[in-house]
Structure 1
């Protein structure tokens, strides 16, 4: 692997943590940084546990409001909408106001 020399500025707490981690793992600081970046890149773009829970709650709420209509009723409504679109739109009721 070809190495590229780079310079970073770290706050004191981060620098201390890097030094302590490198000492505890008995690895060079550059190796700890490489492994940390690799691990971070692997997780990037994935949902956090909190995001997963929030989305599952939203899905449960949506599932509890599912229509009670039968498949035949839904198919009939969709067919009516398609017919109306092909005919130029839905007919308005007498006395109905526009948007």
Structure 2
């Protein structure tokens, strides 16, 4: 029986630690998608997520900052229209504003 230890594998520890950190980051991103803090399909969720006011949302809708068919969809219900926002487009919008 050979009782020698190959210590050369210790050089892999930094690479393993880096991989572990990357996995942690990816896990956090997945948690955000599966357990979102805000409902980004609603006006209230967007207001809190983007930290803006209702009047700013109205302005974004009016001036084309939020584009129909991309950032939101309008649905007619009787005489009222219901706006449903697209969460992925709103997340992308926030990332572009942070740059």
Name the TM-score, length of structure 2 as normaliser.
0.29
Q: Which has the higher contact order (CA 8 A, sep 6+)?
A: 2
Pick the structure with more strand per residue.
2
Bigger CA radius of gyration: 1
Name the TM-score, length of structure 1 as normaliser.
0.29
